[in-house]
Amino acid sequence: MKTIKLMVAICIMASFSQKTIAESRSIGLYLTADDYVNHKLSFATDGSNGNSIKLNGFLEGSKVVVTYNGKKQVLLKSEVFGYSSNGQDYRYFNNTAYKILDTKDFYIYSAPKLVQEGKGPKPVETFYYSSNSSSVVEPLSIKNLQNTYAENPKFRYMVQAEFSSDNALVQYDAAIKEYKVKYIFDQCSSK
């Protein structure tokens, strides 16, 4: 019974993400991390002229299918940095698309994850980070940040003092328009 519920939840999430991408007005690929940093989109399209990009998000497929100027190409997600859809950027890591939330100092991402709640699994937004645009994407946790920034003891101690749980790391300060952890990192890194 649990397996059936899980499969139904996965199908619903996949169809929602595919429908969202299919209805996109503008989409393009960032082939490399440098392309992302320099805002250089490849195969950018609004869906007209028969051009399209299919992200194959169902069950975290490993390919992106591009039809551009009458030519069809299949790219591996492992060879593509990510994509932009309607102004929102995403990064691929291990065939999963991570929504890029913030890039100052280090990257913060989010992605849905199925979590058992009540009678069945439900998608929950989960947060991740990487130290730069091409480094490993890891769960955003106090322990992981302390390991990544071991050479910055001031930041490690401030993270330990300011955040009581991993969930607190995504606190956003609307007054300064910045994540609290990013503000602390900046304060601890400036000389």
154-170 pLDDT, tens digit per residue, is 999 999 999 999 999 99
Judge contact between 181 and 169, C-beta under 8 A.
yes
Q: How many CB atoms lie within 10 A of CB 69?
A: 9
pLDDT at 117: 80
pLDDT at 4: 46
Which residue range(s) make up the domain with 18? 2-134
**Cα torsion through 81, 100, 110, 136, rounded to 10:** 40
Tell whether 105 and 31 lie within a shared domain: yes
Q: Which residues contact 144 (CB under 8 A, 6 or more apart)?
A: 129, 138
pLDDT at 22: 43
Tell whether 23 and 73 lie within a shared domain: yes
Task: Tell me the pTM.
Answer: 0.83
Tell whether 147 and 62 lie within a shared domain: no
Per-residue pLDDT tens for 111-121?
Answer: 998 888 888 88
pLDDT at 42: 94
Tell whether 18 and 47 lie within a shared domain: yes
Residues of the chain with pLDDT under 50: 1, 3-9, 11-12, 14-24
pLDDT at 102: 96
